[in-house]
Amino acid sequence: MKLTSRARFSTVCLHAGQEPDPSTGAIITPIYQTSTYVQEALGKHKGFEYARTQNPTRMALERNIAAIEGGKAGFAFASGMAAIGAIGTLLKSGDHVIVSDNTYGGTFRLFDKVLTRYQLSFSYIDTSKLDEVERAMTPATRMLFVETPTNPVMRITDLRAAADLAHRHDVRLVVDNTFASPYIQRPIEHGADLVTHSTTKYLNGHSDSVGGVVVAVRDDDIEWLTFVQNAEGAILSPFDSFLVLRGTKTLALRMQQHNANGLALAEFLSAHPKVGHVYYPGLPAHPQHELAKRQMRGFGGMIAFDLGSLEAARRLLGAVRLHALAESLGGVESLISHPATMTHASVPAERRAAIGITEGLVRISAGVEDIEDLKDDLTQALDAV
């Protein structure tokens, strides 16, 4: 199974990084559930010594995702947060980082409560406004950490312009691409130096694994991440690697349906009299709709909308039947959540208010169910509001 350099996205998703198993010809990469590898003689082995350092299932996944994102090397970790933690080790005390101001709450918590203990400093800036990013740059700035679209209010950062700005200041651009998925946007093509994912979301896609990945292009980053993945040891297990590898085979198919359902639900909610503002980059009313059309392939399955009050949100969340009330996103089944008390509870109230995460805000991760069933469910739930 040799991929040509012209292989298209869905073909890369299905095949990259995987060869039939050399010992049996099994078409699917086996789960190499082993802690160590027997050596033929002293210093003579097959490239595998100890499973924290090398595992064939994890290696296949890392090569697969590196190819999907258009990077040179991938590193799989035990969670999305472990992946972001590994990116943090590229910094040295005294360094400064600029971060999208409504970044995932867990990322804010890691930066604000853990990494600040190591003399690192962070500025939280609306990265959709690159003039503000430029003003926040200091001689100590080493990293620009961007999420686009942001969770949950869907602000878009122009990746090409962000990469140009970062590189003018000798700063790395890191993109958390979890929310969009590489089907929708490939930040490395726009100049990003590092891409990270919670594979827990769209890459695995089936809500049955927690994991993370970093994709790198720079040789110095690849060398350091290879070292640190082994040194810290927060690796993805062989079984989880197998699950995510199975997930990426259908990434293109799933994302087409997430895109279609996301857009249909956003349009449905916009037209509903009980719904206030709808945040979705695919709506012409979205302030960055034109940029989203240029930068993204479809607009994804994530939608947020305002019901005006905590009480209204509580009634809707209590009335849905098909949408499951749960944190997380990117699985084949539709989820609904309340950012202020769930995913963004660790963000201080005044920061939440500044970003637009009101008490009436509800977020949907549109799954791949029949769109009419999703609309029926929301129709009956909105009747209860």
Establish if 381 lies at the interface with ligand PLP (CB under 6 A): no
Give the integer Cα–Cα distance in Å for 375 and 372. Answer: 5
User: How many other C-beta atoms are found inside a 10 Å radius of the C-beta of residue 370?
Assistant: 11
Provide the minimum distance between the beta carbon of 151 and ligand PLP in the complex, in angstroms, as a whole number. Answer: 5
Provide the minimum distance between the beta carbon of 73 and ligand PLP in the complex, in angstroms, as a whole number. Answer: 20
β-strands 141-147, 172-176: how paired?
parallel
CB-nearest residue to ligand PLP: 80
Stretch in the footprint of ligand PLP (CB under 6 A) among 112-120, 136-144, 175-183, 278-286: 175-183
The DSSP bridge partners found for residue 72 are none
Provide the minimum distance between the beta carbon of 8 and ligand PLP in the complex, in angstroms, as a whole number. Answer: 26
Residue closer to ligand PLP, measured from CB, 80 or 247: 80
Stretch in the footprint of ligand PLP (CB under 6 A) among 92-100, 102-110, 234-242, 295-303: 102-110
Residue 222 phi, psi (nearest 5): -65, -45
Establish if 198 lies at the interface with ligand PLP (CB under 6 A): yes
Establish if 122 lies at the interface with ligand PLP (CB under 6 A): no
**Residue 153, amino acid:** V
Establish if 337 lies at the interface with ligand PLP (CB under 6 A): no
Residue closer to ligand PLP, measured from CB, 110 or 382: 110
Provide the minimum distance between the beta carbon of 106 and ligand PLP in the complex, in angstroms, as a whole number. Answer: 5
Classify residue 146 by its DSSP letter. E
Establish if 212 lies at the interface with ligand PLP (CB under 6 A): yes
Match 């090409």 to its residue by tokens: 160
Let me know if 155 is a catalytic residue: no
DSSP E strands in 127-280: the ranges are 141-147, 172-176, 194-198, 212-216, 278-279
The three-state (H, E, C) secondary structure of 75-128, written as one string: EEECCHHHHHHHHHCCCCCCCEEEEECCCCHHHHHHHHHHHHHHCCEEEEECCC
Kind plus residue range of the DSSP H or E element containing 258:
helix 251-270
Residue closer to ligand PLP, measured from CB, 18 or 198: 198
Residue closer to ligand PLP, measured from CB, 111 or 268: 111
Establish if 179 lies at the interface with ligand PLP (CB under 6 A): yes
Residues 143-172 that bind ligand PLP (CB under 6 A): 147, 151
Burial of 340 (0-12, 13-18, 19+ CB in 10 A): buried
| Catalytic residue selected from 58, 155, 201, 254 | 201
Listed in sequence order, the residues at least 6 apart from 257 whose beta carbon sits closer than 8 Å to its beta carbon are 368
> Do 133 and 127 contact (CB within 8 A), yes or no?
yes
Let me know if 220 is a catalytic residue: no
Let me know if 2 is a catalytic residue: no
Stretch in the footprint of ligand PLP (CB under 6 A) among 104-112, 184-192, 278-286, 356-364: 104-112
Stretch in the footprint of ligand PLP (CB under 6 A) among 75-83, 137-145, 269-277, 347-355: 75-83
DSSP E strands in the chain: the ranges are 73-77, 96-100, 121-125, 141-147, 172-176, 194-198, 212-216, 278-279, 302-306, 324-325, 335-337, 361-365
Structure tokens that stand for 25 in this block: 């010809």
| Catalytic residue selected from 32, 95, 101, 104 | 104
Provide the minimum distance between the beta carbon of 233 and ligand PLP in the complex, in angstroms, as a whole number. Answer: 16
The DSSP bridge partners found for residue 303 are 364
The DSSP bridge partners found for residue 173 are 144
Establish if 331 lies at the interface with ligand PLP (CB under 6 A): no
Let me know if 104 is a catalytic residue: yes
Establish if 30 lies at the interface with ligand PLP (CB under 6 A): no
Establish if 200 lies at the interface with ligand PLP (CB under 6 A): yes
| Chosen residue from 32, 75, 104, 242 binding ligand PLP by CB under 6 A | 104
User: How many other C-beta atoms are found inside a 10 Å radius of the C-beta of residue 30?
Assistant: 14
Burial of 321 (0-12, 13-18, 19+ CB in 10 A): exposed
Residue 79 phi, psi (nearest 5): -160, 170
Establish if 176 lies at the interface with ligand PLP (CB under 6 A): yes
Residue closer to ligand PLP, measured from CB, 238 or 377: 238
Catalytic residue numbers read: 52, 104, 176, 201
- Which residues of the chain form contacts with ligand PLP (CB under 6 A)? 79-81, 104, 106-107, 147, 151, 176, 178-179, 198, 200, 210, 212
